Amino acid sequence: MQMLTEFNLGDKVQMRKNHACGANEWEITRCGADIKLRCTHCGRVIMLDRMDFMRSAKRITARAASSDADGAETAVSLPD
């Protein structure tokens, strides 16, 4: 069994087991020592410690909005 090791805030991940609502896609809403996930179907929020998340995540289904290569958010300038 391979663990998911690279993930970012806003990524959508598929877990190994389905949620009770029938979906198994979750959005990462917090990264740190704990990982906070929100079910994309019913909106339920759960927290897992990092190791439990890495073991139970199967794959990333969608990456978060794109950012620059150095990891900084792209700034949008508005006309005056």
**pLDDT tens-digit series, residues 34-44:** 999 999 999 99
Per-residue model confidence as pLDDT tens digits over 42-70: 999 999 999 999 888 888 888 877 654 44
The answer to whether 30 and 44 have CB atoms below 8 angstroms apart is: no
State how far the Cα of 68 lies from the Cα of 71, in Å rounded to an integer: 5
Closest CA relative to residue 25, chosen from 14, 41, 38: 14
Q: What are the helix and strand counts (H, E) for the chain?
A: 1, 5
Residue 57, helix vs strand vs coil: strand
